[in-house]
Amino acid sequence: MKPPLRPLAGRLRDEQGVALLIALMSMILMMALGTALVLTTMTEGKIANNYRDGTEALYAADAAVERVMQDILTVPDWNNIIDVNNPLTSAFIDGPPSGSRTVPGGAIDLGEATNIVNCGKTAACSDADLAALTEERPWGANNPRWKLYAYGPMSDMLPGDVINSQIYVVVWVADDPSENDCDPLKDGEVAACGAAGENMGRGVIAMLAHAYGPNGVLRAIEVTLARTDTTEIERGYTGQRGQDEQNRRARKAAVQTPGKALTRTAIGTGA
C-alpha cells in the first residue's frame, strides 16, 4: 500500500537531503580550490625555472664573449677571423663546424643556426639573401656575414668540473656593419662602394654570442671590438662597456696555450 502523498507546501518545506547537497557542494568547492592551488604552484615553478635558465644563459653568453675575445686579441690580422673562407677558429670548439649538438630538451644544428643569424632561415643563404635590405640587416652589401668561430658546452670552458652548466654556447664573428667598402669579408682600408670620406668601420669587427639552454631557452649578446694602437700587439675592447673597460683592455695582453680552455693570462703594461 503506497504511503499517502503529503501536501505540496509540506514537501517544499522538507529539508531531507540538504546535508548531502551541502556536502557535495563543499567537496566541489574544495576540489576547485585544490586544483587552482596545484596549477598555481606548477606555473610559479615553471616561471622560476625559466627565469633561472634565462639568467644562466645570459651569463653564459657573456662568458663566451669574454672567453673568445682572448683568442681574437692574439690574432694580428683580423681579416683572417672574419673571412668565411678562412678556416681559422677559436680554440674553444667541440668538433667540426657543422652538424647537430644536443642541449637539454632539444638540439641545435650549427649550420642552420649560422644561416638563421645570416639571413633568417635554416636553408643555405644565397648572395642575394645575405645582401638583402631588411629591418634587422639594413646595410645591404655591407651586411655582416657571420662566421662560426667558437662553439661548445659551457662546462668545457674551464678544465675539470669547475663549471656545472647545461648551456651550449655559439659565437660568430663578422665585419662591423659600419663598414662602407661593400666587402664584408675584409676589414676595409679605405672607403668605397660609392661612399665618401673615411671608412668608419676600419679596425672594427662584431661578435655575436648565443647561449642555448634547457627547453628552448636562448639568450644573445652582440658586441663590437675595435683595435687599439697603444701597444705592440693587437688588442680590442667591447664597445658598449665604457671608457674604463676600454682602458683596461688597452693594457691587457692574452697569452693562450693550445686547447679549449684559457689556462693562463698574463697582464702587462705597454709603452
Q: What ranges do the domains of the chain cover?
A: 45-266
Beta strand spans in 23-105 (E):
100-103
Amino acid 198: pLDDT: 66
Look at residue 150 and tell me whether its pLDDT is greater than 90.
yes
Q: What is the pLDDT of residues 159-206, one digit of tens each?
A: 777 888 889 999 999 998 877 778 888 887 665 666 566 666 677 899
The average pLDDT across 231-239 equals 40
Question: Taking Cα atoms as reference points, which of 207, 148, 139, 203 lies closest to residue 177?
Answer: 139
pLDDT per residue over 2-55, tens digit each? 666 666 565 556 666 677 888 888 898 889 888 888 888 888 878 888 888 889
Report percent pLDDT > 90 for the chain: 29
Q: What is the mean pLDDT of residues 60-70?
A: 92
In this predicted structure, the answer to whether residue 256 has a pLDDT above a threshold of 70 is no
Beta bridge partners of 127: none
* CA–CA distance, 48 with 208 (Å, rounded to integer): 27
pLDDT in the model for residue 269: 42
**Cell 676600454, located at residue:** 246
Per-residue pLDDT at 101: 92
Q: Which neighbouring-strand residues pair with 164? A: none
Query: Phi and psi at residue 101, in whole multiples of 5°?
Result: -125, 140
What does the pLDDT read at residue 148? 95
What is the chain's mean pLDDT, rounded? 78
Q: How high is the pLDDT of residue 164?
A: 85
- The phi and psi torsions of 215 (rounded to 5 degrees) equal 55, 45
pTM score above 0.75: no
Average pLDDT for 85-93: 91
Could you please report the per-residue DSSP string of 150-200? EEEEGGGSSSTT------EEEEEEEE-TT--SS-TTS--SS--TT--S--T
